[in-house]
Amino acid sequence: MRNRFDRQLEQLNIEMIEMGALCEDMIHLAGKLVDIKSKEMILRIDDLEEEINQKERDIERRCMKLLLQQQPVAGDLRMISAALKMVSDMERIGDQAVDIAGIVKKSDVVTVMNNHTHVLMMAASTIAMVTKAVDSFVKKDLDAANEVIKADDEVDALFSKVKKEVISLIHEDPEKGEACVAIVMIAKYFERIGDHASNIAEWVEFSITGEYKGGSL
Amino acid sequence: MKRKIFLNMSYIALITVVCTTVFLSAVAYGRYMSQVKEGIQNEAGYMAESLNQHENQSLDAYKDITISRITLIASDGKVLYDSTGKEKSMSNHRNRKEFKEAVKNGAGESTRISKTLKKQTYYYAVKLSDGSVLRLSRETQTIFNQVEGVLPVLILMMAVVFVLALALSRLLTGRIIEPINRINLEHPEDENTYDELSPLLVRIHRQNEAIKEKIREIKEKQIEFTTITENMSEGFLILNDKSVVLSYNTSALRILDINEDQCSNQNVLSINRSHEFRRAVEMALGGEPSEEVMEFRERKYLLMANPVTVSGAVKGVVLMMIDVTEKEEREELRKEFSANVSHELKTPLTTISGYAELMKDGLVKQEDVGRFSEKIYTEARRLISMIEGIIKLSRLDENQIVQEKEEIDLYQMTLEIKNSLSMKAAEAGIDLHVLGSPCTVSGVRQILYEMLYNLIENAVKYNDRGGHVSVTAAAMEGRATVIVEDDGIGIPPEDADRIFERFYRGDKSHSSEREGTGLGLSIVKHGAKYHGAKIEVESEVGKGTKIAVIF
């Protein structure tokens, strides 16, 4: 009985890693898209979104089944409930990557954005955060999780910087107004992705220590 | 073992006890019966004698002195007297066996068992002198009664035997087993316990030997395998059908940047989850061999995943990781090289064909023909010199030069080169001077000349008006050395590695601002290699370059 349960937990762990990897793939693509616009990548990101949604449903079903049929306790229960929370964050990251791709597809912002703002840097920081968050889950690494939570401030700071840059850009050249709106939105999405990554890291911390945001739940 | 011995002992004891009891009972019963019979026969004999002497006696007088039942039967079978007093109700005894025998032989006997089997009666009849028959009978025990009587004793005995058997079997088992337990299974032949066991021990011994041999073989194979995998620079992983890592080599750990704990018995996904890695593993698990190029930590790896199939089912995956960073880079260089070659060769040809076409069509004024032919001529010269350069290089590549080596004074040679370049230097407004002292090397004059010429020419060519070039040829630290130093445009650090490549030019646009084939330094490099010399380059953009050739 216990054996079967362990196998199912292991399977859940693997599926979580796969979903994390999908999530990473998507944000990598989004990061590349803000650098170079590419039709192929936009299509690929849409494919990945479907895959990640399917994976979310699979994992949710598996978690529910485990909770109802095995009635896990302690560490196992924490791991499963954290997984349930994490998949929604991962799925949101995927959605936001798709949104970024959508904006890049519709408007021509890439050159303006990269010449005048720090969005590319934001993208790099958030990608690093997501990668590290997934890593911290895979390796059950508390330090990595803490680093991700701290890195969120960095991304937030970059976001305010981008905002200021956009404001001065509009002052300089009101013609670029449309592009500026798109830039702000893209930056906002990256900022949100950073938030989700730090949420994931918090849940990783919870599944390891049983403490959520520094206190017990 | 104990249980078995106990049970066997118990069976034997049980059978012994039962048999003994049955036989003893039978013998005892036989003796008892013969005594009883003898008693009755004697009694009957005395009574008959007494009755024959005194006729018409009342038999009641005998009734009280014997426990036997007395019956007097008339010769026709009618019962005349019975000591139970029931002679009136008794039926005719004419057909009784003992009566018939008595009438016939003078005496007769019979034993009858009552219907309930509980009682047995012995009858003895004697014929009296008056023809009537006297019969005595007595109830005796049946054999069953007899056995019934000894049954409690029997049960008691059995109980005692069981207890004894239990104790004995424990003792015996201990004694029998103890030497067997003492057998050293590593060396079973040392302990000689039971002869009966020796075939088994010999077999164990042989099997031990066989197992040792097998283990040794397996260990050897294992060592062989580990040696092979450990010494290859390619990463090597074996996964089972659940993609859990079964085996790995150090290169794999290094490539994937993990330690052993993170690798053995872990799902491979927790080691690397990049898109290409997952796809390769997935494909192989689906039974298809696959190849992917994965980028990891700034390097490129070729992943080769092959399924391991056992009778048609995929049982695992063998994964090889080969570092192809350099190969990919070289590929990139080759592409750039051929692009460069075609460009370099095409540019002069285009110019030539353009000017020639204009002249052919008569579109050139007579006075311009000279200038145009001049252009065609210089471009053709350039093409020729480039092709010459390529030929020289390919000769150097193939080590085809079979010219005799001779002692050459490098200082002398640099002076010669200075003389032939002094015109050019003066035109470019560059101060060229040679320092040093005579130093000789053994080499091929032509190649050495080409090398130094190219070096010094480059220093002049890639310099600004008013610049300085200083050439030093001398023996330094016992080795002949030529140093060419300029204060020209310098080489950017990102190009420093590539200046010796064929057709590589710092100026990517290949504009003819400074003419050159891009082959000069390549010839220097190959020449140096041919002579076993070392080239050192120090350069800073805008400040100048220092190239030293150390023989």
What is the C-alpha end-to-end distance of chain B, expressed in Å? 90
Q: List, for residues B522-535, the tens digit of each pLDDT value.
A: 888 878 877 888 88
- Give CA–CA dist B480/B471, Å, rounded: 13
- Mutation to test the A interface, candidates B269, B272, B292, B294, most A Cβ within 10 Å: B269
- Give CA–CA dist B62/B85, Å, rounded: 13
Question: Is residue B75 a contact partner of residue B81, using CB atoms and an 8 Å limit?
Answer: no
Question: Is residue B367 a contact partner of residue B501, using CB atoms and an 8 Å limit?
Answer: no
Q: List, for residues B394-449, the tens digit of each pLDDT value.
A: 777 676 666 677 888 888 888 888 888 888 888 888 888 888 888 888 888 878 88
If you measure CA to CA, which chain A residue comes closest to B276? A25
pLDDT > 80? residue B284: yes
- The predicted pLDDT at position B326 comes to 85
Question: Is residue A197 a contact partner of residue A130, using CB atoms and an 8 Å limit?
Answer: yes
- Mutation to test the B interface, candidates A8, A11, A12, A14, most B Cβ within 10 Å: A14
Residue A120 touches chain B, beta carbons under 8 Å: no
Least confident of B200-209, B214-223, B476-485: B476-485
Residue B297 touches chain A, beta carbons under 8 Å: no
- The predicted pLDDT at position B496 comes to 75
Q: List, for residues B286-323, the tens digit of each pLDDT value.
A: 888 988 888 888 888 888 999 988 888 889 899 898 98
Is this complex scored with an ipTM above 0.85?
no
- Give CA–CA dist A48/A32, Å, rounded: 15
Residue B214 pLDDT grade (very low, low, confident, very high; cuts 50, 70, 90): very high
- CB-CB under 8 Å, A18 with B273: yes
Query: Can you read off the two tokens belonging to residue B283?
Result: 């494909």
Q: Which positions in chain A touch B270 (Cβ < 8 Å)? A: 13, 17, 138-139
Other Cβ atoms less than 10 A from the Cβ of B192: the count is: 12
Choosing among 3.10.580.10, 3.65.10.10, 3.40.50.920, 3.30.450.20, the CATH entry for B232-323 is: 3.30.450.20
- The predicted pLDDT at position B209 comes to 92
- CB-CB under 8 Å, B269 with A21: yes
- CB-CB under 8 Å, A139 with B270: yes
**Sign of the four-CA dihedral B379, B383, B388, B393:** positive
Q: Which positions in chain A touch B267 (Cβ < 8 Å)? A: 10, 13-14, 17
- CB-CB under 8 Å, B274 with A138: no
Residue B212 pLDDT grade (very low, low, confident, very high; cuts 50, 70, 90): very high
**Sign of the four-CA dihedral B310, B312, B316, B322:** positive
Per cent of chain B over pLDDT 70 is: 95
- The predicted pLDDT at position B402 comes to 62
Give the amino acid at B187. H
Please check whether the two domains, B2-147 and B406-550, share a CATH topology: no
Chain position carrying tokens 């192989």: B284
- The predicted pLDDT at position A115 comes to 72
pLDDT > 90? residue B220: yes
Can you name the CATH fold of B406-550? Answer: Heat Shock Protein 90 (3.30.565)
Per cent of chain B over pLDDT 90 is: 4
What is the architecture of the domain spanning A2-216?
A: Up-down Bundle (1.20)
Give the amino acid at A76. D
- The predicted pLDDT at position A217 comes to 66
Q: Helices B369-398 & B325-360, crossing angle to 10 degrees?
A: 150
- Give CA–CA dist B258/B437, Å, rounded: 58
Q: List, for residues B55-78, the tens digit of each pLDDT value.
A: 667 777 777 777 888 888 888 888
Least confident of A2-6, B12-16, B40-44: A2-6
CATH of domain B331-398: 1.10.287.130
**Sign of the four-CA dihedral B359, B365, B367, B372:** negative
- The predicted pLDDT at position B509 comes to 55
Q: Where are the domains of chain B?
A: 2-147, 185-228, 232-323, 331-398, 406-550
Q: Which positions in chain B touch A14 (Cβ < 8 Å)? A: 267, 269
If you measure CA to CA, which chain A residue comes closest to B267? A14
pLDDT > 70? residue B511: no
- Give CA–CA dist B111/B143, Å, rounded: 13
Least confident of A60-64, A172-176, B472-476: A172-176
Q: Which positions in chain B touch A21 (Cβ < 8 Å)? A: 269, 273-275, 278
Choosing among 3.40.190.290, 3.30.1490.20, 3.40.50.300, 3.30.450.20, the CATH entry for B2-147 is: 3.30.450.20
- The predicted pLDDT at position B12 comes to 85
Residue B269 touches chain A, beta carbons under 8 Å: yes
Residue B26 pLDDT grade (very low, low, confident, very high; cuts 50, 70, 90): confident
Question: For chains A and B, what is the number of CB pairs under 8 angstroms?
Answer: 26
Q: Could you write out the three-class secondary structure of B390-407? A: HHHHHHHHHCCCCCCCEE
Q: List, for residues A182-203, the tens digit of each pLDDT value.
A: 888 888 999 999 999 999 999 9
Nearest C-alpha of chain A: how many angstroms from B242?
Answer: 10
Q: Which positions in chain A touch B273 (Cβ < 8 Å)? A: 17-18, 20-21, 24, 134, 138
Residue B389 pLDDT grade (very low, low, confident, very high; cuts 50, 70, 90): confident
Question: Could you tell me which residues come within 8 angstroms of residue B179 by beta carbon, excluding any fewer than 6 positions away?
Answer: B191, B193, B194
- Give CA–CA dist A104/A37, Å, rounded: 7
Strand partners, B123: B110, B137
